[in-house]
Amino acid sequence: MTQTDKTLNQEEMPFLASLLKEKQQRQTSFHMPGHKGTLAPHPMLLEYWGGDVQPADLVEIIGIIDYLHAPKDKLLEAQKLAAQSHEVDQTFFLINGSTVGNITSIMGTAFDGEKVIMPRASHRSVYGGVVLSGAIPVYVPPDYHPQVGFPLATDTQVVARLFQEHQIRAIHVTSPNYYGYLSDVQQLAEMAHAHGAMMLVDEAHGSHLAFHEALPHSATQLGADVIVQSTHKTQGALTQCSMLHLNHGRVNAARIAQILGLLQTSSPSSILLASLDAARQFMATQGRALLEDVYQLSVMAREAIRQIDGLWCYGEDLLGSHGVFNYDPTKLVIRVSDTGWNGFEFYQLLRKEYGIDGEFSDLKHVICSLTIGDTELSVMKLLNALKSISEKPSGKPVSDYEVPPPSTLPEMALSPREAYFIPSKPVRLDTAIGQICADNIIPYPPGIPLLVPGEVINQDTVDYLRFIMRMGGGVVGPEDKSLETIRVIT
Ligand SMILES: Cc1ncc(COP(=O)(O)O)c(C=O)c1O
């Protein structure tokens, strides 16, 4: 869908321009923020910032600087420009990342007790949305890709079955996922709409996709109703800056705005918002050309990595099974485990010996993202380092580092919301079997919830947790990180 307003000019940055004009006025402030734009920052802060940021830290002024929670003027125009450039009906700027976007998309579409299909391997913000809305999650069980050891996408056939079995209000999928793999969003959206449900997409890792034809389509182009993107992850906006896009017709836009008003600060940072306005202008006017370079670099890098002994870079070879519909070539999923180093060790070698930080690592892989911030030089530096580490013997036998996937999903005795808002107490892990969990228990690897509040703790889950701890893995979520105890509903 498209914003057809001919008065909008993608070269302009209306909100940023209004801020710059106000900064240049040098008004004398008797309002917040307390630094008033005049208080000298600590020298160390100045050194860190590389310049004086405070005079740019302006707040809303009626008629002069527009307000995020009731935009009427330049910020409204900036959001309309963003909607036009993404070819959607409406865009909201977010200053609490896709985290707030995912929570809002669930809260804005599902009421207490309504069912939402979501992959078990969803970001924790989706679980946050379920707790806050009271929606009942209907999970797509994790379908571990045999080569990567992590679920990469959501299988349409599994979703079709869930639609047959449940009355569904919305489906929420992550596409692309952290590894850059995409689900068939178009088919999922058609399925959702045929069942009177809404299609919500966590596209935190795909804000760049719509701007180059060699990249997979964005969910904005595939019939989704709500699409959340981290503009800070794959474009040039500052950290925390995201967008929530809407296609009208099924979603109540006023309720989305109301929920964002509930969840986001009432003092939104102009610096963050301005960076969204500028990121949109940059992408709308130069995105295709910039992404052409990124695309060419990614093709060259993938091919070069595949030529290095002991390394492999996934791509089209994983398409067509386990729900995997497409891949984003700008994410380099590099299998390093054949070198004898595991992913975590390899990641640390890149950091400590070559001054290179990957995006993340798992047992077998190091994942690196290429963006419009990359150059041939940065990519060559990465390729040289990869080659050089792969020639360094690890001194260990090559291992396949298999982690057995968690057992089947535990039984849900209470909804996540019910379990979250009633009293709980810690009990020893070995006495917890049969009780209802009050903690989130997310083992790393693989980073997929093993237990969600409201689920019954069984022998399999306890055994798997013990295995992960023995292996030296970590667990995110519980109050007691040692996992000697676990919180259960009293
Ligand atoms: C798949 C996915 N969704 C959502 C988020 C949250 O995004 P943000 O950091 O913009 O809040 C992340 C963050 O890493 C993510 O990986």
Residue 68 backbone phi and psi in degrees, to 5: -55, -40
The DSSP string of 83-95 is: HHHHT-SEEEEES
d(CA 148, ligand 1 centre) in Å: 20
pLDDT tens-place string over residues 149-172: 899 999 999 999 999 999 999 999
- The secondary element (H helix, E strand) that includes residue 253 is helix 253-263
Question: Can you read off the two tokens belonging to residue 231?
Answer: 């503009």
d(CA 360, ligand 1 centre) in Å: 13
Nearest to 243 by CA among 266, 226, 267, 222: 226
Residue 407 has pLDDT above 70, yes or no: no
d(CA 176, ligand 1 centre) in Å: 11
- pLDDT category of residue 250 using cuts at 50, 70 and 90: very high
Q: Which atom of ligand 1 is nearest to the CA of 233?
A: 10
Name the residue type at position 283: M
Strands (E), 203-271: 226-229, 242-246
How far is Cα 441 from Cα 453, in angstroms, rounded to an integer? 9
How far is Cα 259 from Cα 257, in angstroms, rounded to an integer? 6
Over residues 354-369, mean pLDDT: 95
Q: In Å, how far are 172, 419, 476, 479 from 432, measured between CA atoms? A: 31, 16, 18, 15
Amino acid 468: pLDDT? 81
pTM of the model: 0.96
How far is Cα 121 from Cα 134, in angstroms, rounded to an integer? 19
Amino acid 2: pLDDT? 52
Mutating to test ligand 1, I would choose from 125, 275, 328 the residue with most ligand atoms within 8 A of its C-beta, which is 125
Burial of 472 (0-12, 13-18, 19+ CB in 10 A): exposed
- Helix/strand/coil percent split, the chain, to 5: 40, 15, 45
Q: Ligand 1: residues whose CB is within 6 Å?
A: 97-99, 102, 123, 125, 174, 178, 202, 204, 230, 242
Domains and CATH numbers, the chain: 14-284 (3.40.640.10), 288-390 (3.90.1150.150), 416-489 (3.90.100.10)
For the chain, the distance separating the N- and C-terminal CA atoms, rounded to the nearest angstrom, is 50
Amino acid 393: pLDDT? 77
CB atoms within 10 A of CB 462: 18
